[in-house]
Each structure stands twice: as C-alpha cells, then as structure tokens.
Chains A and B, each alone.
Chain A
C-alpha cells in the first residue's frame, strides 16, 4: 500500500486556496504568470506559497532570482522564503541538470513533494504547472482535490488548439476554472475571447507583450514595475482573489 497519498490532505489542510496556473501549450508565460501572481498576493500581505511542478523545465526560480537555496529539514521539508513567498521546486534536488523522467517517476516525485513539504498556514498556494494534459495535470487533479485552474494562452490558433483541449478536459472533470488569461498580446483581436466564451468559461482579459519583461527576469523588484505586472494586477482584481 502506498502510504504517501494518505497524508497529502493533511499537508494541504491549512491552505485556503490552491491555484494551478496551467496551459495546454508551452511557452505561453505560465511560469511568469504564476510567479507574478504569487509576488502580487504576497505584496498584498497574504501568506503565499509557490510550487513549481514543471519537473522537466522548472523556471520559477529563475524568474524569482532564487539561487543557492535549499529547504530546511524539520519533520519533512520546510520551503525557503523568497521575496515573501514559500517556494518549493524540483530544482533544489536536480542542480539544473537535465531531468529525464518517465511517467511513473513524475507521479512518484509529485507524491513525494506533496507528502514531505510542510507548507504550514497559507492563504494561497500557487502551482506552476507544466504544459499539457499529462501526468502532472492528472496528478494535481487527483491528489489536490481543492485545486482551481487559471489557464494561460497566447493569441495563436496553434496555442489555443492545445489550450482548448485542456479547457474541455477541466470542464468534463468538473474542475473549477478561474478563467483564461490571454498573454503576450500584440494585435487587437477577439478570437480567443469568443472561443473561451463559447465554452462558457470566464475570459479574464489580455496582457500585452512587454518588451521590457526579459530584463526583469530574476529581479522581482524590477518585475513589479513592468507593464506586464500592472496589467496582470488588473486581471487579478477581476478574479476577486
């Protein structure tokens, strides 16, 4: 019998809301949205955690400039605090080396992280999800029953093709979808909005492509001054978190 599943609910019990930032497609800015959302909520005085579950390509630590950190071992692992956020990532254990995991290994890693991480009391746990509807997405739905989904897309038919599938799956499995955020917008078009509304899901709005964003990666103070962050704040308000 696998004992770790029995303790996950207890580990997450003192967390009010768990928001999985997800997308059907990679490269749409999930990690930036997840990190920026966590930073914004922490700045407002909430107790916030950020769990990077992109096990092949974790990047939240790069965005937060969180290097040379390791969780504290005390009745499990206590996440280090970065800019007011309790932060946990596979990168603490992989040292930026390539991570060639197969499906069953992904599930075991997620189980282990959820069973041994001691988050304590949190208002929000933000999960930076990997792209797609594979193991990680299914495992989050299976093991984190109270997870809500914030879905990120870009104004591209190719990206939306994959995002559409994720949205349909979330609807089919009756998982709460906070809404769809349209990121990296360069032209004025309403095609994504129409597609999301046709699925009867909340369309949260657009965040324009920000030329200055790359320079703010690794510097949360600079990130908080970007147009990206200002526009994201507007969307967070709409989400009424």
Chain B
C-alpha cells in the first residue's frame, strides 16, 4: 500500500520538526489529506500507528488526528469551479487509481466540465500535509 510510504514521510517530517523545536516527546500529530489523494483513512492511520512503534522513541505515546481537505478545481480558461466528487463519475477505475498514486495526473484524465479544457488548477485538496505537531520539552 502506498499509504505506508506516505505515512513514513509524515513521521519523518514530524521527527525533523520535533528535533528543531527540541521536543522530547511528540504527543499529537495532525495530518490533513487532500481528497484527490484518495487515501484510505483506516489504512493510513493503521500505517502511522504501526510505523510509529518502531520509528523513534519520540513517538512512543503519539496520537494521530486525520482530516480530509475537500477538493476544489478551477478552470484557468473559463473560471468554472468544481470538485473531485463531481468529476469522479466520469473516470474509469484505472484513471482513478492513477490519480490516487499521482494526483496531478488528474490533468491527464479529466477536463473542465464546462469548457472541456485541460488547463485547470487544483486550488484545494491535493497531497498530504503535516498540519501540526504537539509535544513536550
């Protein structure tokens, strides 16, 4: 599952941030995942929990918090805005899977529903963001 690779990147970034802030333990990690990434929440949280057990002593008592960011896509040609959920119906399984791995291939597999342009932006809802960490010094 590629959720494991992304979970590892979250832990790695959290450890880097904690070290920079001289934290002795990390108690909470808030992760925000863009809708376009189509992450399986349960798998992702399971991966975070499992990996944290052996990743670093700083993560011994950590709790994870997960938030999904709804997507917004905006056409740079006609200004139309829509969501990934609107667009998903027009994608086949293979296209949706490709977007799950590399969200930017949405520009390859989808078009603006209004003017059919491939020239649109992901204004919200891509990628994985480490939003906050909390810990003790």
Contact = CB atoms under 8 A, between A and B. Distances in A.
Interface of A: 1-7, 10, 73-77, 90, 92-95, 97-102, 105, 108-109, 112-113, 115-116, 118
Contact of A115 (B6, B94, B109): B6
A112 B118 contact: no
By secondary structure, the B interface counts as helix
Contacts of A95: 94-95, 98, 108
A100 B128 CA distance: 23
A113 B2 CA distance: 11
Interface of B: 1-2, 4-6, 8-10, 12-17, 94-95, 98, 101-105, 107-109, 118-119, 121-122, 126-131
Contacts, number: 102
Contact of A112 (B1, B8, B16, B103): B103
B107 A105 contact: yes
Contacts of B130: 1-3
Given A3-B10, A76-B4, A97 B102 contact: no
A116 B5 contact: yes
25 contacts: A2-B129, A3-B6, A3-B10, A3-B14, A4-B9, A4-B128, A6-B15, A73-B2, A75-B2, A75-B5, A76-B2, A76-B5, A77-B2, A93-B98, A94-B108, A95-B98, A95-B108, A99-B107, A101-B107, A108-B127, A109-B102, A112-B101, A112-B103, A115-B9, A116-B6
